[in-house]
Amino acid sequence: MPHINLKKDEFHWWFTHSDQIQNTALIKAYHQMINAEEEERRVKFRFERHRHQHLVTRALVRTTLSHYVNDIAPQNWKFVKNQYGRPDICPSMNLPSLKFNLSHTENLICCGVCLDNEMGVDVENVERISATLDISKRFFSANEYTDLLKVPKHLQKQYFFYYWTLKEAYIKAKGKGIHIPLDQFSYDLKTKDKISVNFDASLGDDPQDWQFMLINIDQKYRSALAINRGKTENMKVDIREVVPLDSEKDLNYRIIAQ
C-alpha cells in the first residue's frame, strides 16, 4: 500500500480562492489533470465562472491528495460516488484510510483531509442569502430557531451561517447529505467559543465522539468542520490556503468556536 504523509490525529483543511487563479499555464495544467467525466460535467455549467470553479475544485482535490501520496500524480486519482453523491477515493487505489471532503461557494473552495474518520466540511458565502429566519424556521431544529431569535439582530445573519455550515458539515460527514433530516440534530452555540450538539436517537451518534470547528475567512465566508474522531483527543487542525500546483501559505482565518 502506498505511504500516506498524514498522522491519525491530524485534520488538514485546504482552501483556494478560485477567482484569484487566472494564470493560463496553471489553468492549462488543470485541464490536463481532469478526466473525461469531470470535463463532461464542467462543460455543462452555463456560466464560465462556474466552469472555472469546477475545474479548480478538481485540481484542488487531485493536487491535495497527491500531496499526501507522492507517488500518485494528480491526474491518476480515481473516484467513486456513494448512493448520495459523496465522492471518495476509488477502492481500486488501495488507500482505504485516506478521506477527503469538498465544499465550494462563489469563489472559495475547500478540501478537508484526514485518515479513517467520518468527516465533512462546508463553506458558505454570507452575501448569498438574506431570508435567514425563514430558512432557519423551516430547516433548523426548534431549539436552534428559538436560540437564533434571541441573538441580537445585528448578529443574527452571522449566527445563521454558523448553524447552517455546522449542519451541512455533519450531514456531509455522514455521507448522506440532505437525506438526514436537519431537525434531527441540534447545535447549541450559547456558550462562547463552544459548540455542543444533541443527536436524535435515530441517528445513533454520541456527541462525545464528534469534534466541530467554525472559522471565519474574512467578512465574506464562514466555514465549518465536523469530524467523528471517536473517544480520542481532539484532532490537530491545520488550515492552509493553496493555489493548486503553485503556492501554499497560511490562510487568514479566525477560529470562532470548537
Ligand X SMILES: CC(C)(COP(=O)(O)OP(=O)(O)OC[C@H]1O[C@@H](n2cnc3c(N)ncnc32)[C@H](O)[C@@H]1OP(=O)(O)O)[C@@H](O)C(=O)NCCC(=O)NCCS
Query: Can you give the binding site for ligand X, defined by CB under 6 A?
Result: 57, 84-87, 101-104, 120, 122, 139, 164, 167-168, 171-172, 175-178, 182
CA dihedral 95, 100, 102, 107 (to 10 degrees): -100
Q: Tell me the closest approach of the beta carbon of residue 3 to ligand X, in angstroms.
A: 25
Cα–Cα distance for residue pair 162/172, rounded to 1 Å: 15
Q: Which amino acid is at 230?
A: G
Nearer to ligand X, 177 or 198 (CB): 177
Q: Tell me the closest approach of the beta carbon of residue 155 to ligand X, in angstroms.
A: 18
Q: Tell me the closest approach of the beta carbon of residue 162 to ligand X, in angstroms.
A: 11
Q: Tell me the closest approach of the beta carbon of residue 191 to ligand X, in angstroms.
A: 21
DSSP 246: S
Nearer to ligand X, 108 or 233 (CB): 108
Cα–Cα distance for residue pair 197/200, rounded to 1 Å: 10
Nearer to ligand X, 7 or 128 (CB): 128
| Angle, helices 36-44/48-68, rounded to nearest 10 degrees | 150
Nearer to ligand X, 3 or 45 (CB): 45
Nearer to ligand X, 3 or 100 (CB): 100
Q: Which amino acid is at 141?
A: S
Q: 208-243 as b/e, with b when 16 or more CB fall inside 10 Å?
A: eebbbbbbbbeeebbbbbbbbbeeeeebebebebbb
Q: Tell me the closest approach of the beta carbon of residue 21 to ligand X, in angstroms.
A: 16
Nearer to ligand X, 7 or 179 (CB): 179
Phi, psi of 39 (to 5 degrees): -70, -40
Cα–Cα distance for residue pair 125/161, rounded to 1 Å: 9
Q: Tell me the closest approach of the beta carbon of residue 50 to ligand X, in angstroms.
A: 10
The residues facing 103 across adjacent strands are 110
